[in-house]
Chain A
């Protein structure tokens, strides 16, 4: 708290906050040793975008391999490595870090704090996460081990036992997978603790829980959920390493161990993880949709309750990933029903976003375009989720491309779309420059078309029985043209992401100067300069409603008159 007691004079010249004339090495050193939440937030986001490009390139390689039957672009072994690395990268090195990057950058600004609760823990967590990612990719070089076998992990991102046992995965590839995720898992745990402590203990005057922006609320829920989500994975991976290195028998069926126990432990992590990834997307939508509809969010208390509800329900649905392993009918029925239950709070959210847009003066700038795409796609993703939750139907569709299509609809159609929306929305705040709207529109429409060409088509491949994780197929299965379409859609998405990457770099140098509040928004981060000074707020703000900047801009009609 010491940093909050230092009084900074109100006339402090903001422009001098960024010293000029530093050498490149000094600037680099500044980024490496920084404990500033904004710089760490940018580091997280940049790190994730780099891995997004890497993971995307892996996906494109997989799709080129599958573009026609009996293709020889990738060998079977490399295909296995690439889909494992694609999944692991996208979940652990893209999804989690980018969302915690947004939390890092935005939560202190939104609650009127000068930094996170524990700035040094924050830096430590980031470097743990970064080291975990590098370790995972170092496996391409170091995974061979003394046996000369392996290279990158090839056991699938869920690494089912007994495939991970020493006998079936010699070399060090699986160890790289486990240790990289343990390391980045501790980084994630540190950040989650930090976010919870920041939100509960660092809010500015007047920022009561029910006045927090929904972004902050959802980050609180997500971080709380992360505490009990990432840790079971860490525990399971410690067990896996005990099995592999110390000769333990946790997942060793020949000594009485159970492979199914690994599945339970993995999905106890794995399913809440989906909500850890998707709820920050809700957080982003809950900020962007009101601003671009020129209306306050509809049903704020319901949104908060629904978020907490999703977190609770998400902890009791994991075995819907395991309907085909032969559970009892009671278990199947329980997990079917609990999975369907998720539809209620998420449905509340979708209706509230639509009600926010209803009757609003909607501006379709690029962030809003992405959020609108998100709404429709998330609805469809939820509906296919309900389809898959019906256990008898799941027996038919399990491990088919229908499942792949379903979860990519969530992870790309909802999460990635909103990540793009968030970058278009907050890039001006972080850099002081707008992203190009023209390139943004090109990015949106190309990505939207590519997304639907790929993932809509994938559903039909699933109905036709194409299983996931196969490196090639025979020409007589009637999958040829559909696979061709899916792969072409993938290439369109790749082109769109390249436009986006170009836009990020180009606008950094040439973008239009943004000003403090380019979107005429209502939350506290827009009250500081762009980019914000190191101390965020010269004087600690005091808020009286959920939209402090609205009160500021419209003193004749402030929100606090109506909010109770």
Chain B
């Protein structure tokens, strides 16, 4: 084999490359950001262009509690990451569960908000441009929360079964990156939908 002679250089030279999981997750986040950018741009462009009501001012309430829950989940997952990095598996399980609970509270809050909008205010995706852009953007974000929760639950299942250990810290951090991204996107969605657009 002619490939063998390449081993001539000294093997002591340190050769460190970035973790492939982290690189891939960051790439995915870049791609996802582009998707969200398009939806956010559409939302902003169509603010105030609906021909009929209801308007955001009439029906939207600022979901402070929801937002606090979702943003706190970024802190709790960071604490979980730190626990697994320091091999404290009980702490990891506790903070991980807390993250899932906070995510679920957020989803429940969104469900309650949508229930009110649909049943009391009569706003659906086909009512007007506000409905179309609102449900698309918030729904796209909620979809990402659901996907994130499914992955977090999978890890929780393995943790309860005792299959997650200190050696998985790197992978947990890669997954946590995604969760941080979902939280960061909410900051943008919250600002655009509930502050700027209202």
A joins B in a complex: yes
Of residues 63 through 96 on chain B, the ones whose CB sits less than 8 Å from some CB of chain A are none
Cβ A541 vs Cβ B2 within 8 A: no
| Bound Cα distance A131, B21 (Å) | 26
The answer to the question of B154 belonging to the interface, with a C-beta cut-off of 8 Å to chain A, is: no
| Bound Cα distance A529, B3 (Å) | 9
Residue among B23, B33, B49, B140 with the most chain A CB within 10 A?
B23
Partner of B2, one of A238, A261, A516: A516
Q: Report the contact-size class of chain B (Cβ under 8 Å from the partner).
A: 35 or more
Main secondary structure of the interface of B (DSSP, over half): helix
Contact string against A for B residues 28-44, beta-carbon threshold 8 Å, 1 for contact and 0 otherwise: 10111111011100100
Residue among B2, B21, B50, B128 with the most chain A CB within 10 A?
B2
Cβ B3 vs Cβ A541 within 8 A: yes
Cβ A539 vs Cβ B136 within 8 A: no
| Bound Cα distance A543, B45 (Å) | 52
The total number of A-B Cβ pairs within 8 Å is: 156
A227 and B50 in contact, given A236-B38, A247-B126 (Cβ under 8 angstroms) = no
Of residues 208 through 229 on chain A, the ones whose CB sits less than 8 Å from some CB of chain B are 224, 227-229
B49 proximity list for chain A (CB < 8 A)? 256-257
A12 proximity list for chain B (CB < 8 A)? 1
Partner of A117, one of B20, B39, B50, B136: B20
A196 proximity list for chain B (CB < 8 A)? 23-24, 27
- Chain B's closest residue to A541 (CB) is B6
A90 proximity list for chain B (CB < 8 A)? none
The answer to the question of A157 belonging to the interface, with a C-beta cut-off of 8 Å to chain B, is: no
| Bound Cα distance A201, B26 (Å) | 13
| Bound Cα distance A527, B125 (Å) | 59
A201 and B128 in contact, given A255-B51, A529-B1 (Cβ under 8 angstroms) = no
Cβ A249 vs Cβ B6 within 8 A: no
Cβ B7 vs Cβ A539 within 8 A: yes
| Bound Cα distance A242, B19 (Å) | 38
| Segment touching B, from A136-144, A187-195, A353-361 | A187-195
Cβ A201 vs Cβ B20 within 8 A: yes
The answer to the question of B18 belonging to the interface, with a C-beta cut-off of 8 Å to chain A, is: yes
| Bound Cα distance A230, B30 (Å) | 12
Cβ B23 vs Cβ A201 within 8 A: yes
B193 proximity list for chain A (CB < 8 A)? none
B27 proximity list for chain A (CB < 8 A)? 192-193, 196-197, 224, 227
B161 proximity list for chain A (CB < 8 A)? none
The answer to the question of B129 belonging to the interface, with a C-beta cut-off of 8 Å to chain A, is: yes
A197 and B3 in contact, given A247-B125, A256-B50 (Cβ under 8 angstroms) = no
| Bound Cα distance A248, B130 (Å) | 10
Cβ A528 vs Cβ B3 within 8 A: yes
The answer to the question of B120 belonging to the interface, with a C-beta cut-off of 8 Å to chain A, is: no
Contact string against A for B residues 107-139, beta-carbon threshold 8 Å, 1 for contact and 0 otherwise: 000000000000000000110110011001000
13 CB < 8 A contacts A-B: A194-B24, A197-B24, A205-B9, A232-B38, A235-B38, A242-B125, A250-B129, A250-B132, A255-B50, A258-B45, A524-B3, A542-B8, A552-B5
Q: A200-B20, A250-B133, A256-B128 are in contact. List 18 more A-B contacts (CB 8 A).
A: A117-B24, A189-B28, A192-B31, A193-B27, A196-B27, A197-B20, A227-B27, A228-B30, A228-B33, A230-B31, A235-B38, A242-B132, A247-B126, A257-B129, A258-B45, A524-B3, A528-B3, A539-B7
